[in-house]
Amino acid sequence: MKSLRYQCLVLDHDDTVVNSTATIHYPSFVKFMKAYRPDEIPTIEKYLFDNFQGLTHFFHEVMHFTPEEEAAQYACWADYVETHVPPAFDGMADFMARYRAAGGHICVVSHSLRKNILRDYRENGLPEPEMIFGWDEPEEMRKPSPGPLRAIRQAFSLGPADLLMVDDLKPGKDMADACGVDFAAVGWGTYVPEIAAFMRAQSRIYCETLQDLETLIFS
Domain residue extents for the chain: 8-18+89-217, 21-82
Cα–Cα distance, 188 to 76 (Å, whole number) = 27
Name, in order, each residue with C-beta under 8 angstroms of 83's C-beta and a sequence gap of 6 or more.
none
Pick the CATH number of 8-18+89-217 from 2.40.50.140, 1.10.3720.10, 3.40.50.1000, 3.40.50.150: 3.40.50.1000
pTM: 0.89
pLDDT digits (tens, 9 = 90+) for 20-75: 999 999 999 999 999 999 999 999 999 988 887 777 889 999 999 999 999 999 99
| Parallel, antiparallel or unpaired: strands 163-167 and 182-186 | parallel
- Over range 153-166, report the average pLDDT: 98
- Over range 170-199, report the average pLDDT: 93
pLDDT digits (tens, 9 = 90+) for 92-140: 999 999 999 999 999 999 989 999 999 999 999 999 999 999 999 999 9
